Structure 1
Amino acid sequence: MINTSDERLMQQISSGDHQAFATLVDRHLDPLHGFVQRMLGNPADADDIVQDTFLRVWNKASLWRPKQAKVSTWLHSIAHNLCIDFHRRYKGETVDITEVELIDPHQPADFRQQEEVAVQVQAALQQLPESQRSAIILCHYQGMSNREAAEALDISVSALESLMARGRRKLKKILQAQSAELLGEF
């Protein structure tokens, strides 16, 4: 089943094929989890959202329309909507930006610096409005084309491009402010 197309897997899942479902999960779990974790900033919450996403796929596989969206786009759309629901439900509660392990002092300095930058970027992403964060994560981190990301977010390509431009500008400002704060501490 490894060489089976996503479209064929969805047909089989619609018929209750557990093996096809397992193959689809194996194929899409890591990229989907990466997307959700970047959206939420917390690995434990991401696990729950990804699990709910795949449960919806299992329960609603017959609703997927091959002519409307690729399977990966549909999966990201479901996950995106669940992330929005999660943010609405827990708005105002403190959410861990990341569950970062302590940086190992024996790691090369370049690697430690890359880890620190990744943590800063993740924290900055969490400060963006949800729509801008989604657009940037789908295109930059998930490697979706603008068209695919626009479909996942149910917006036009021009609206996606606008979100990306505004999000990048805001990220730049946030990261510049963080850099200025760090330099001010020395």
Structure 2
Amino acid sequence: MATDPDEQLLERIGRGDTTAVSVLVSRKLPKLLSLARRMLGDAIEAEDVAQETLLRTWKQAAVWVPGKARIDTWMHRVALNLCYDRLRRRRDTSSTDDIELVDPAQSAPARIEADQTAKQVRAAITALPERQREAIQLTYYQELSNQEAAGVMNVSVEALESLLARARRSLRTAMSGADNKDPKESMGKRK
């Protein structure tokens, strides 16, 4: 097994090296924020989750056992657990609308169609069972390898690939069903 590139960094943090803390934050914060934003649909809550994950990593640094787990895998698991805790507390469906930059070169009808497709994809992902949604988020949005994502989810690579296959099938079905809907219905109008 290859050595974890973050182990030395965590060791330095455990000894109180503030420069190492800054390096860890600059390396990990963007991915943690991205993961939490996608899971929660709320930038402020995502910042809280990312901050709590980094704080827990800092607290864990002095007692970290090298080689037991990859630090990145552990941090993703902590962030996912914090997201799920927040989602459980909410118990209501959050808005999955993310702020998106508009391409000025894109025509208005093309933008509307792209927005509708993006909403359908987000809704289809949100409708997936929790473990399938988690597998999709980690592999496609967090760009983790199958092995890394399996580690975060505490499943075998084969189990992860099975989750991904079922998720892709569900997403294809959901999106093909969405494509066949009357455009007036998808805009909230009835015939």
When residues 43 and 117 of structure 1 are mapped into structure 2, their CA distance, relative to the original with a 3 A threshold, is farther
Q: Which runs of 5+ in 1 are unaligned?
A: none
2:20 aligned residue = 20
Letter in 2 for 1:97: T
SS at match of 1:164: helix
Letter in 2 for 1:124: A
Q: Deviation of residue 153 (structure 1)?
A: 1.0
1:130-179 Cα shifts (integer Å, max 9, x gaps)? 21111111112222111111111111222211111111111122222222
> Residues 119-134 of structure 1 correspond to what in structure 2 (within 5 A)?
119-134=119-134
Letter in 2 for 1:94: T
1:166 aligned residue = 166
- Number of residues paired by the alignment? 180
1:8 aligned residue = 8
2:148 aligned residue = 148
Distance of 1:116 and 1:57 partners within structure 2: 39
1:16-46 Cα shifts (integer Å, max 9, x gaps)? 2222111111111112211222222222221
1:50 aligned residue = 50
Larger-Rg structure:
2
1:114-141 Cα shifts (integer Å, max 9, x gaps)? 5553343223222212211111111122
2:71 aligned residue = 71
> Residues 99-138 of structure 1 correspond to what in structure 2 (within 5 A)?
99-100=98-99, 104=102, 106-109=104-107, 112=111, 114=114, 116-138=116-138
Letter in 2 for 1:9: L
Q: Are 2:86 and 1:95 equivalent residues in the alignment?
A: no
Please say if residues 43 and 99 of structure 1, whose CA atoms lie closer than 8 Å, have aligned partners that are also in contact. Answer: no
Letter in 2 for 1:95: S
Distance of 1:115 and 1:65 partners within structure 2: 46
Q: Deviation of residue 63 (structure 1)?
A: 4.3
When residues 38 and 105 of structure 1 are mapped into structure 2, their CA distance, relative to the original with a 3 A threshold, is closer
Please say if residues 120 and 175 of structure 1, whose CA atoms lie closer than 8 Å, have aligned partners that are also in contact. Answer: yes
Distance of 1:11 and 1:56 partners within structure 2: 14
SS at match of 1:100: coil
Distance of 1:50 and 1:104 partners within structure 2: 27
Q: Which runs of 5+ in 2 are unaligned?
A: 187-191
> TM-score scaled to structure 1, two decimals?
0.83
Distance of 1:182 and 1:100 partners within structure 2: 26
Please say if residues 38 and 122 of structure 1, whose CA atoms lie closer than 8 Å, have aligned partners that are also in contact. Answer: no
